[in-house]
A and B are shown apart, each in its own frame.
Chain A
Amino acid sequence: AQTVTQSQPEMSVQEAETVTLSCTYDTSESDYYLFWYKQPPSRQMILVIRQEAYKQQNATENRFSVNFQKAAKSFSLKISDSQLGDAAMYFCAYRLSGGYNKLIFGAGTRLAVHP
């Protein structure tokens, strides 16, 4: 069975600094997707970034980038130039490719951003 582990329950960062959130996963499959979702206090789960496992290039979306290490089954999120609005719960998620497969989430990391 596939699992997703986020080992950092809480993280904090100073405004304008850089922070990295960790995620590891376990799967025997070779074709899958990985995601980072952000959930602010408003509860809305917002897609931050997506990575296809077959792509070696790390995905980037503005200030957000990932370090995808397929062999190590690691998928970390780097937030650069942190802003107060980045404060939220961040969830790492895995989904098998093909068909209509479910998302498997980690337990989340709460990120605090200090001015």
Chain B
Amino acid sequence: DAGVTQSPTHLIKTRGQQVTLRCSPKSGHDTVSWYQQALGQGPQFIFQYYEEEERQRGNFPDRFSGHQFPNYSSELNVNALLLGDSALYLCASSSVAGGETQYFGPGTRLLVL
């Protein structure tokens, strides 16, 4: 049973560029949540997708956008990258049947220069 997968594992971008991160949920899960974890801090909620719609959003600017596909996989897009966007981006999947516990992927480390 494959767990949550994310790609790429590492990414280096320059200020002003755009980036797309990808996530495939655990088998049987239909909900994907994205978190940003700055160095030395706990993860911060970005947004959550269910049935291809954004269900909930944290305190992040509109530069952060997402998408969920019919197969429940998801993308996180960040436009006009800032140095402060450098972080570990975590994807978590869950389902109602699974008690809504969120299971995390290995993350994508983004460095903005």
Binding site for B on A (CB under 8 A): 4, 33, 35, 37, 42-47, 50, 91, 93, 95, 99-108
Contact = CB atoms under 8 A, between A and B. Distances in A.
Contacts of A103: 33, 35, 43, 45, 92, 102
Contact of B104 (A33, A44, A104, A107): A44
25 contacts: A4-B42, A33-B101, A42-B106, A43-B106, A43-B107, A44-B104, A44-B106, A45-B43, A45-B90, A45-B104, A46-B104, A50-B99, A91-B43, A93-B42, A99-B55, A100-B56, A100-B94, A100-B100, A101-B56, A101-B100, A102-B48, A104-B45, A105-B42, A105-B44, A106-B42
A59 B109 CA distance: 33
B54 to A, nearest CB: 11
B58 interface: yes
Contact of A100 (B31, B35, B41): B31
Interface string B84-113: 000010101010000111111111010000
B48 to A, nearest CB: 6
A102 B33 contact: yes
B35 to A, nearest CB: 8
Interface in B52-96: 55-56, 58, 88, 90, 92, 94
Interface residues of B, number: 27
A47 B42 contact: no
A107 B42 CA distance: 5
B101 A102 contact: no
Contacts of A44: 104-107
A35 B94 CA distance: 14
Contacts of A43: 88, 106-107, 109
Contact of B50 (A46, A95, A100): A100
Q: Which 4 A-B pairs have the closest CB atoms?
A: A105-B42, A45-B104, A102-B45, A44-B106
Contacts of A91: 42-43
A54 B46 CA distance: 28
A113 B104 CA distance: 24
A100 B94 CA distance: 9
Contacts of A106: 42
